[in-house]
Chain A
């Protein structure tokens, strides 16, 4: 058999079907009606404009994070530290809001400052992981995991320490910011903020262009596929790794700033919402192809939001969404492997 685009789609679809099957088996084992469960997820994600706007709210940071991760994946790095980078983005954005929020500057300026601060925070944290790898020889996966722990601890320390609510520390986070400093939303009750959607779409577009069309992207690709050869071809390798870390951290930082300014309006202990790890899954699922990032991230966001219905309606744990996402990634990766064994790649004419 030859590997053609249509067969590739077949494999992808097959993976999705298998993942659904496994999830169904899990559901049956949990004595839950599978169809009702899936129907509830769909209903919970697209049943009304309210829930759909919630899906978009989750989509924005997820897409931002995925965009960043595509860059680190391109250069051959596993930026597990992405969670910490989101957190630092959130912390820096909060810091900016605390410092400039009452300075009399216009809210727009303050919010822009918060986003810039978030970028700086995420970027710095990512470069720390990069420096550990480049200069300390610490594998980015371990370094990243360590930095995630540190970031979480730092965040909680801030919330329960210097930035706690007057008199009372609270797990629900710092005191909400003044309403002036909330990102504008579509309607007052919605959390969906159009500017953040625009930022996220711009992010993935930039990354797409960067990888497809720029020298920088091409160099990243070369380093990712063969660092030794790339170096001999004249590409400064560690500098490119650092740059991709910094850029990825920047996008993660924006995601953190979005969480703080548009979703929670305060800094909360789990400000990253696990979007970093979810983003890793999305990136793997789309086989690191930027073109598919937006729809697949939307799908994951929908699963996350839709599955909130499960505990309410079916008394099921909403981690079912996680099961589905996890098996999906697993099967798609498996599918890649099988495809490479079964189908031969078509090659360019010589």
Chain B
């Protein structure tokens, strides 16, 4: 289907999120959409998929002007969108979620739907059990579910708003194959991403937004440097890798076993030292989130112990709040579900996270605090912005900005999920600053480059199996990719000894 956007305008309050954007996307193509955080990408996509109505401008499908008033409208026109923060119906079974939204029929045919679901999932190699519950899924798996659902609903235009942030390399490869296949079948695909290499390897053309305006377009072969310049107005050098000089013990994990809903982790040992960065690699749902949550006291282990600090204070069985008191911060991946409180402003978030005492909130102090954090973390928003009005990347910055000044241990899932390249570099520089002050960091990422770039040691997770800590220098992207896919584990113990 040929999709044309003409002079799309959208303003939120004083923010002009989209300014006279025109874009023409022919069928059987994959249109990349690039831009820094808050550039207006999601807004444009939401306009096309009926979540927002534009202030002005028109949308043409196959040359015919259409009015799209709601997501249901959009899907009727064959437009489906996969959101940056997947919207779903948490307490339901996957299959029910899948069936939901399909028109007609009082009683959904579960058997047929289940068969079709399995077939479709098989095509992509997604291992989703239709009988499992949606709330047991990781962010990446929810995205998979959404993809399947939209395809099943008959979408001919598919919009992906940063789909690759949550899923791992092999899954990404599979996804890209499918997208290419779909495009070859005549589908129109819009692909929003911060990852240039993704856009380069996938898209048939790329558009760049900046501050609500369409500032450039490119065709393959892409010139990475040019794209970066269009996005940020400058070149971005990557900071040289620094290796930490590990200090005293911060966290000792002693033969810890954890039981999750679908997998078990057995006998993990790990010592985290001050100033160190540990990366947890693995495909979505391989156990790394479970492990990180347990380190924060959010999940209780069934065996083993967690000790904090040099004096090895035993924290096993303690609540998260007690971990928090001892300087442990936990930043979850599901930003709007677990990390932030929709409806509260940035100021209110900072006030809460600082845990300031006293009866009444000191408004002046609170606002000063908010202003300082907003500028330190370069959040596009005001102290009064409610968090759900922030762009995805800015929500992530807000989440990071909630960390208290002095911390011993930062546990973070996907620290740069949804951040543009500039912000990614900036955020890591902030995190590294913390390390220099002695804080240790344990983080999860599905981006293997990020793991290798920033961690000192790496733990690989595969279906609940956990590798011993591996030195990052000893690994390559290919090697790591094989490991998270479950290959090549035979040679591990030897290396671990070296580590």
Contacts and interface: CB of A to CB of B under 8 A. Distances in A.
A and B bound? yes
Interface of A: 213-216, 218-219, 221-222, 225-226, 228-236, 344, 346-350
B330 interface: yes
B382 A233 contact: no
Contacts, number: 100
Contacts of A225: 341-344
Contacts of B391: 350
A229 B337 contact: yes
B15 A234 contact: no
Interface in B69-100: none
Nearest to A228: B338
A230 B386 CA distance: 15
B352 A348 contact: no
Contacts of A347: 12-13, 15, 385-386, 389
Interface of B: 12-15, 38, 52, 298, 320-321, 324, 330, 332, 337-345, 348-349, 351-353, 355-361, 380-382, 384-386, 389-391, 394, 402
Contacts of A348: 13, 345, 381-382, 384-386, 389
B361 A350 contact: no
Contact of B339 (A214, A229, A344, A349): A229
Given A347-B13, A349-B13, A350-B394, A230 B341 contact: yes
B355 A234 contact: yes
Interface of B is mostly: loop
28 contacts: A215-B359, A215-B360, A215-B361, A216-B359, A218-B352, A225-B341, A225-B342, A226-B337, A229-B338, A229-B340, A230-B341, A230-B352, A232-B320, A232-B332, A233-B349, A234-B321, A235-B352, A236-B321, A347-B12, A347-B385, A347-B386, A347-B389, A348-B345, A349-B15, A350-B15, A350-B380, A350-B382, A350-B391
A231 B352 CA distance: 11
Contact of B338 (A221, A232, A349): A232
B283 to A, nearest CB: 24
Contacts of B338: 226, 228-229, 232
4 closest A-B pairs by beta carbon, nearest first, are: A347-B389, A348-B385, A226-B341, A225-B343
Nearest to B341: A226
Q: Which of A214, A215, A221, A350 has the largest number of chain B CB atoms within 10 A?
A: A350
Nearest to A239: B321
A144 B330 CA distance: 35
A221 B361 CA distance: 14
B332 A349 contact: no
A214 B360 contact: yes
Nearest to B70: A341
A213 B362 CA distance: 8
B462 to A, nearest CB: 27
B444 to A, nearest CB: 15
A222 B361 contact: no
A234 B352 contact: yes
A213 B348 CA distance: 11
Nearest to B383: A348
Q: Which of B352, B353, B357, B391 has the largest number of chain A CB atoms within 10 A?
A: B352
Nearest to B351: A218
B395 to A, nearest CB: 11
B67 to A, nearest CB: 15
Contacts of A218: 344, 348, 351-352, 361
Given A347-B12, A348-B384, A348-B386, A222 B348 contact: yes
B300 to A, nearest CB: 15
A345 to B, nearest CB: 8
Nearest to B69: A341
A215 B356 contact: yes
A175 B359 CA distance: 44
B341 A233 contact: yes
A350 B387 CA distance: 11
Q: Which of A214, A218, A219, A229 has the largest number of chain B CB atoms within 10 A?
A: A229
A233 B402 contact: yes
Contacts of A221: 341, 343-344, 348
Given A350-B382, A350-B390, A234 B340 contact: no
A215 B320 CA distance: 20
A177 B389 CA distance: 58
Contacts of A344: 52
Contacts of A216: 359
Contact of A229 (B38, B341, B382, B390): B341
A141 B12 CA distance: 38
Contacts of A222: 341, 344, 348, 352
Contacts of A349: 13-15, 381-382, 385
A228 B344 contact: no
A349 B17 CA distance: 11
Contact of B358 (A215, A226, A232): A215
A343 B422 CA distance: 35
Contacts of B381: 348-350
Contact of A234 (B344, B353, B359, B384): B353
Nearest to A235: B352
A232 B330 contact: yes
Nearest to A226: B341
Contacts of A234: 321, 324, 352-353, 355
Given A225-B343, A231-B321, A347-B13, 10 more contacts: A215-B361, A218-B351, A222-B344, A226-B338, A226-B341, A229-B341, A232-B298, A234-B321, A346-B13, A350-B382
Q: Which of B341, B342, B348, B381 has the largest number of chain A CB atoms within 10 A?
A: B341
Contacts of A233: 341, 349, 352-353, 402
Contacts of A213: 360-361
Contacts of B321: 231, 234, 236
A214 B352 contact: no
Nearest to B394: A350
Nearest to B380: A350
A350 B389 contact: yes
Contacts of B351: 215, 218
A349 B38 CA distance: 12
Contacts of B349: 233
Given A221-B344, A222-B348, A226-B337, A231 B320 contact: yes
